[in-house]
Amino acid sequence: MKTPDNAPTECRQVQSVLDTVGRRWSGAILVAASRGARRFVDFRRTVPGISDRMLSVRLKELETLGLLRREVIPSTPVQILYEPTALGRELLHVLQPLFRWGEKHLDEVSAATP
């Protein structure tokens, strides 16, 4: 069977999206943010199993990608707030169908990985 000429382009695009938002923890961090997490400790408590290092690395990445905004509040102790940008909220919105699929089918899928 033959694939259409634009198929490689589509594949490249899909690849790029998943390379940016599909990295380990990124999705979970965005969801945590959408559920109200703002401070470093909020995320650490809300994302199960993440280490300080990975959280720090991913928050920085997501900020660089323009999906989270970092705000420093010079109180004592200093507070650092992360919140979704408009772009981040839009991304969370299009991720909803994927999450619902996960809820529905994850048992079937993970049952297949021994």
Partner DNA sequence: GTATCCACTAACCAAAAGTTAGCGACTAAC
Partner DNA sequence: GTTAGTCGCTAACTTTTGGTTAGTGGATAC
Rg (CA), the chain: 17
Residues 22-61 that bind DNA (CB under 7 A): 23-25, 39-41, 49, 51-54, 56-57, 59-60
Burial class (CB in 10 A: 0-12, 13-18, 19+), 42: middle
- The smaller minimum CB distance to DNA, of residues 52 and 103, is found at 52
- The smaller minimum CB distance to its own copies, of residues 76 and 98, is found at 98
Q: At its nearest, how many Å lie between its own copies and the CB of residue 6?
A: 8
Q: Token match 């989270």: residue?
A: 68
The Cα diameter of the chain in Å comes to 65
> Which residues sit at the interface with DNA, rule CB under 7 A?
23-25, 39-41, 49, 51-54, 56-57, 59-60, 76-80
